Amino acid sequence: MKEIIRILSKEIPDSRIALEYSNPLELLIATILSAQCTDIKVNQVTVDLFKKYRSAEEFAEVNLAKLEEEIRPTGFYRNKAKSIQKCCQELVKRFGGEIPKTLEELVTLPGVGRKTANVILGNAFGIPGIAVDTHVHRVSQRIGLTKHGDPVKIEFDLMEIVPKEEWTHFSNLLIWHGRRTCGARKPLCGTCPIRKLCDFGAKMKV
């Protein structure tokens, strides 16, 4: 594990989260919008969105149809708009408009699962968390770090073998490695820096 982290850290020195935000609320909104959407498209939408709405109160009170139109390019905009508004209403009602700093509290919010909660904890608050998105799911299975398909079980498997202080960093490394090298359809095993440490790569003929 230490060798995988060392190699990928050298290969991907810029492995920070790709979503653009300036505070925990913005990261929460951006992460909800990122479902089934590219981070590039989300960033294009939020650059204006975050200028219009600067607090949970404002998102909670905005006209829902208006919010839907403003986030339409991210896809599934009706469901996302409802999740954002309900989430922000709960933030105002239960947390004074502030983002809670525990996973247990975050996952009680509408539209927030463990992945989103860990993204927020790790990247906005510096609290270690393993966020299992589609890339972490795929790459961790291929490397041989887990045999499970359920994201929660994968998260717990990784928590057992990844040093806690590396949880957020490791998640970001796997996400970028999945985007740049270990793609879903055509993994670039021939140029993969961790091929010799990977169950999948070791079996590939390149």
Residues carrying an active site annotation:
115, 133
**What does 92-147 look like in DSSP terms, one character per residue?**
HHHHTTPPPSSHHHHTTSTT--HHHHHHHHHHHS--------HHHHHHHHHHTS--
Q: Are 148 and 157 in contact (CB under 8 A)?
A: yes
Q: How far apart are the first and last CA of the chain?
A: 24
Tokens standing for residue 156: 């717990």
The amino acid sitting at 81 is A
Cβ within 8 Å of residue 135, ≥6 positions away: 174, 175, 177, 178, 179, 182
Distance set, CA 80 to CA 8, 34, 43, 65 (Å) = 33, 10, 15, 12
Tell me the one-letter amino acid at 56: A
Q: Where are the alpha helices (DSSP H) in the chain?
A: 2-11, 24-33, 39-52, 56-61, 64-71, 77-95, 103-106, 114-124, 134-143, 151-161, 167-180, 199-203
